[in-house]
Structure 1
Amino acid sequence: MDTIDEEIIRCVLRNARSTYAEIGEAAGLSAPAAKRRLDRLVATGAIRGFTALIDTRALGWRTEAYVEVYCKGNPSPAELQRDLEGIPEVVEACTVSGAADAVVHMLAKDIAHLEQAIQRVREAPVIDRTESVIVLSRLLDRPRL
């Protein structure tokens, strides 16, 4: 990985839909050269995929909950991640110490939508049960560095 690769990564992090010309301009390359470098970054696994960032507030998703997840057996974090990543209401998930295996932060438009999303979490093959707390008010919401 060199500074050109780093510029390519910065460009696609800003906008995963950047054109090869835009990526090339950011990295000082032609569009075909940018495509080759980007393809190599994907092939080596340095870039694992491209995604869309959703503004949940624009969708009207203002109901939020933290859900403790208890797993069946001892699944790997990768197995748990696979089961959770297909649920768009799950905006963050972490394995944790303590009784729960993971904590999931969820957003939904209302309680009924949240209940449906939590049910989809419960239906995941590795999950035994969940315990949820609904956020009433957000006291601090500091940006992460």
Structure 2
Amino acid sequence: MAGKLRGDMDELDAKIIERLLKDSRKSLRSIAKELGTPTSTVHERVKRLVKLGVIRRFTAELDLKLLGLDITALILVSVDGAHITEVEKTLSTYDQVIAVYDITGEFDVALIAKFRNMDELNNFIKTILKMPYIKRTVTSVVFNVVKEKLCMDIVPKYQG
């Protein structure tokens, strides 16, 4: 159940989320102690944020290079306009693809994907170019990750 949030979220919600972003395994009791709030309050807030869809899952952040996924590629895809949604759904099913974005500009879809090596990337590009409705792709390989953050820090930006 996703719902409206902006006016429904307060500074305590933001501080709870900030702590969960830093360590999703942190106990609610520990968070409550840090914030000087009863554990039951933190528990109810987290339950509510999950129900609203603000917190979608609790997860681990992996070092993909240590798992052998050394290549990160940014892939721009041009699609026959009437079939963008269909193509996006299909591209989303590939294990290598970690993000699919519907974008404006010369291209229609942007992908972020991870590969073990350049051969795997090359085979992936060849595969998607055979898909119906894909006109062309442009691929950039990431040399160095300067910043990679999955979530923004929300507490400093919280406006009440």
TM-score, normalised to structure 2's length?
0.63
Q: Which 5+ residue runs of structure 2 have no aligned equivalent?
A: 1-8, 153-160
SS in 2 for 1:42: helix
Kept in 1: contact 2:92–2:99 (CA 8 A):
no
Question: Which one-letter code corresponds to 2:37 in the other structure?
Answer: L
CA distance in 2, matches of 1:13, 1:40: 17
CA distance in 2, matches of 1:119, 1:17: 40
Question: Which one-letter code corresponds to 1:56 in the other structure?
Answer: L
Figure out how many residues of one structure are paired with residues of the other and give that number: 137
Q: How far is 1:115 from its partner?
A: 4.9
Kept in 2: contact 1:89–1:107 (CA 8 A):
yes
Higher relative contact order (CA 8 A, sep 6+): 2
Equivalent in the alignment of 1:98: 105
CA distance in 2, matches of 1:56, 1:10: 24
Kept in 2: contact 1:64–1:107 (CA 8 A):
yes
TM-score, normalised to structure 1's length?
0.68
Q: Which 5+ residue runs of structure 1 have no aligned equivalent?
A: none
Q: How far is 1:84 from its partner?
A: 5.1
Equivalent in the alignment of 2:121: 114
Q: Identity, % of aligned pairs?
A: 23
Question: Which one-letter code corresponds to 2:147 in the other structure?
Answer: P
SS in 2 for 1:29: coil
